[in-house]
Amino acid sequence: MTETRPDLGRRKWITLGVLALGLGMVVLDGTIVSVSLPVLIDELGLNFTQAQWINSIYAVVLAALLITSGRLGDRLGRRTMFAAGVIVFLLGSLLAARAHSAGPLILGRVIQGIGAAGVMPGTLATVNALFRGRDRAIAFAVWGSVISGVAAIGPLLGGWLTTYFTWPWIFLVNIPLGIVVLIGLVLFVPETRTGKNAPGLDVDGFLLSAMGFALLVFALIEGQTYGWWKPLREFPIAGWKWPVSAPISPIPVLLVLGVLALYLFVKWEQHRHLIGRSALLDPALFRIPSFRWGNITAFLVALGEFGLLFVLPLFMVNVLGLSTLGAGYVLAAMAVGAFLAAGIAEGLVRRYGPVRVVQLGLAFEVVAVALAALFVTPHISGWWLAVLLIGYGIGLGMASAQLTGTVLADVPPRNSGQGSATQSTVRQVGSAFGTAVVGALLSAALAHDLPSRLAAVKDLPPNVADTLATATRESAGGAIPGVREHGGGAAIADALSRAFTDSTRTTLLAAALFLLVGLAAATRIPNRPYTGAADNVPPDDSRALSDGTGDGESS
C-alpha cells in the first residue's frame, strides 16, 4: 500500500494552518461545554446523568467512528472526508444551539461527534503524508500543541460566550470557523490517500468497536441511575424491562458485554489481516513499543484532563460562587501553562529527548492535581486554584505536544492512516471515560458525603436532609446556590458546600492516580536522544511491522 505525497514546498505551512484550524474547531467543542454546564443544568432543567451525557456523548461518538473514518479517508481521500466532516459538524452545531431540552441537545452533540470523526483523523494523516524529517517533527508538535492549547482555552471561551451572550453561542461560534476551514480546504489542502487497498469493508469490526465503547461508557454514566450491583429501577430493553427484583443490576452485565465486544473486535481484526481483507485496525501496530505505551499514556492523560474539566466548573460555580466567566478565567490558567511549556519544551527535547519531556510533563500534572486536592476548600481563592492549574497546564503542554510524535515515531508511513486514527481514538476514548469515570466517582462520593455532612446540622429533620442530598446530587451541585440565596440557612448551605468539596477532593485524587499510572506507562516508552533533522521520524522503508524490529523495548 503506497501513500500519495504531494510536494507543496513552503505552501505546506499554510496547509498546516488550515488543518490546525479544523482540528482546533472540533477539539474546542470537547471542552467549551464544560464550564457552561451549570447554566445548562439550570436553564434546561438537566439532572446529573443528562449533564454527563451532554459532556461525554460527543467524545463517545467521535471515538467510536474515528478508526472507521480514518480508513475511509485513506480510501476516498482525506480532504474529501475532512470537508464532509466539517459540514456535518456545522449541522450538529446548529441543532445543539436550537435545543430547548436535554434530548435535542444530546442529539446535536451526537451529530457533532459524527462530523468531528471525519475531521480529526484526516488532519494527522495528511500531516504525516506531507511532511518529512525535521518539518514533520515540528508539524507533530504543532498538532499536539493545538490539542492541549485549544482544549485549555475552551472553558474560557465558553464562559465568555455564556456570560456576554447566551449558551447557544458556544455552538454557534463554530459556524464562522467552519466556513473559513472549508474555504482553506479548497484553496490550500491537497487530496491525499493511500494507493492499493485490501479488499472489502470491515463492517463487523466497526460494529464491534462501536458497541464496546458505547456499552462501557453507558454503564459508567448510568451506574448511579440503575444501580452498580443492586437494581434501583426498571431498565427498558427492546420492549422488555429488567425488573427491580432481579438479583443484579444490568450495569455489571453491560460492562462485561462491553469488554467482550472489544476483545472480539481485536480478534476479528487479527483474522481480517490474516486473510488479507481490509481491517479498521492492524493489531501488529501495538507490537511497536512506542506506539503501545504511548497510546496507554495518551489515554490516561486525556482521562485525567477531561475528568477535571467536568468536575472543576461545577465546584467553582456552585461552591465558590464564581460566574461562568470567572470559572473560565481560572481554567484558562491551563492554557497559560501550556503556552509557557511551548517556550521551554524545545530546549528540553534537544537535551533530554521527547520521551523524557513527556515524563517530566506528566510529573508536573500529577503534582499539580495532588496539590489541588490537598488545598481545595469551600473558600479557596480562585487565584490560588489558577496558580495550581498553571502548573498542570505546563505539564499538559509538555506531555501532549510530544506524545503525538512519540506515538507515531516508529509507525511506517504506509500505516499512517491507521496509526493516526488509532492514536486519535485513544485520546477520545480517554476523554469520554474521563467524564464517565470521574463523574461516576463524583456521584458516588456525593451519595456518601452529603448525608454525612447534613447529619451534623442541628434540628434538620431526616426527611428534609434526604431531600436536600438528593436534589444536590441530581443537580450536580446546582441546588447549593439556591439554598444559599433563598434563606435555606447558613448551616445547611455550608454543609452542602463542604460535602461537595469533599467529593471534589476525592475525584481530584482519583485523577492524580490516573495520571500517575500514565507516568508509569510513559517510563516504558523507548527513549532515543535528540538527533536533529529527523528526530523521531521513521524512514519510508521502516520495517518495524514486517520484521519485528520495533519489538525491542528499552527505557
Binned at pLDDT 50, 70 and 90, residue 237 comes out as confident
Which letter, b or e, does each residue of 81-102 get, where b requires 16 or more Cβ atoms within 10 Å of its Cβ? bbbbbbebbbbbbbbbbebeeb
Tally of helices (H runs) and strands (E runs) in the chain: 19, 2
Give the residue with greater pLDDT, 66 vs 244. 244
Grid cell locating 294? 504511548
Rounded Cα gap, residues 222 and 515, in angstroms: 24
User: d(Cα 259, Cα 301) in Å, to the nearest integer?
Assistant: 21
Q: What pLDDT does residue 195 have?
A: 56
b/e map of 41-62 (b: 16 or more CB within 10 Å)? beebebebbbbbbbbbbbbbbb
Of 377, 406, 401, 372, nearest to 389 by C-alpha is 372
Tell me how far apart the alpha carbons of residues 156 and 193 are, in angstroms, rounded to a whole number: 37
Tell me, what's the pLDDT at 132? 74
d(CA 423, CA 433): 15
User: Would you say residue 543 has pLDDT above 60?
Assistant: no
Output the pTM of the full model: 0.78
CA 46 – CA 37 distance, rounded (Å): 9
% of the chain beyond a pLDDT of 70: 90
Summarised one tens digit per residue, pLDDT across range 289-318 is 888 999 999 899 888 888 888 889 889 988
What pLDDT does 128 receive?
74
User: From the CB of residue 348, how many other CB atoms can be counted at a distance below 10 Å?
Assistant: 18
**DSSP collapsed to 3 states, 5-74:** CCCCHHHHHHHHHHHHHHHHHHHHHHHCCHHHHHHHHHHHCCCHHHHHHHHHHHHHHHHHHHHHHHHHHH
Per-residue pLDDT band at 78 (split at 50, 70, 90): confident
Residue 533 — pLDDT band, cuts 50, 70, 90? very low
Residue 272 CA: distances (Å) to CA of 171, 308, 376: 40, 39, 51
pLDDT of residue 440: 85
Average of per-residue pLDDT across 123-146: 76
The total of other beta-carbon atoms located within 10 Å of residue 419's CB is: 27
Q: Are strands 235-237 and 240-242 parallel, antiparallel or unpaired?
A: antiparallel
Gap between the Cα atoms of 123 and 185, Å rounded: 11
For residue 388 the three cell numbers come to: 495550581
Cα–Cα distance measured from residue 133 to residue 113, given in angstroms and rounded to the nearest whole number: 33
Closest CA to 192 of 362, 411, 12: 12
Decide if 326 contacts 313 (C-beta within 8 A): no
**CA pair distance 189, 177, nearest whole angstrom:** 16
Q: Name which of 444, 450, 445, 484 is nearest 467 in CA terms.
A: 450
- How do residues 510-521 score in pLDDT, each as one tens digit? 999 999 999 999
Cell representation of residue 456: 451534623
